[in-house]
Amino acid sequence: PGLTDKEFIMADASVTAASVMPGSDPVYREGILKSTTTIGQTAYLSTTDGTNPPTYGLLDANAADELATIAGVFMTGGVAGQRCSILVGGNYNPGFSATAGEMYIGTATAGGIAHIDDVASGWKIATVGVATTASNIKLNLFSSLTALA
């Protein structure tokens, strides 16, 4: 038997960090990095590492609820303990060629982003937003916290 739609998994988008840029209407949150990150990766807010300032790690759609709850997109990269900026609203260039009108989500690869068609069984949907052009995603952060059957 062949693979079902839910079993056919494509790769995460290949993000070019140097191309990731906020749009003209960015909304940011500032915090501390929980781990090494790269600009353009998806983020979650850690509730176990203190909240003043908040600590952000790499989202994982196939992990515990906290790690699968999208907080935004890293606009800075660095190593654990460094300051970071998270884009939580507005538009941004994701650093890859997106498909206008299509939804993008966080993935089971820590910090990954992919087209909604790439969702796989066990993932909790963590919506990043919808592409308005090939080089723009309008953020619409949402986390279902219900694993896809």
What letter does residue 36 receive in the DSSP assignment? Answer: -
Instruction: Report CA 14 to chain centroid distance, whole Å.
Output: 13
The pLDDT of residue 77 is above 70: yes
Which residues sit opposite 57 in a β-bridge?
Answer: 44
* Full-model pTM: 0.91
pLDDT tens profile 92-130 = 999 999 999 999 999 999 999 999 998 989 999 999 999
Angstrom distance (rounded) from CA 26 to CA 57? 20
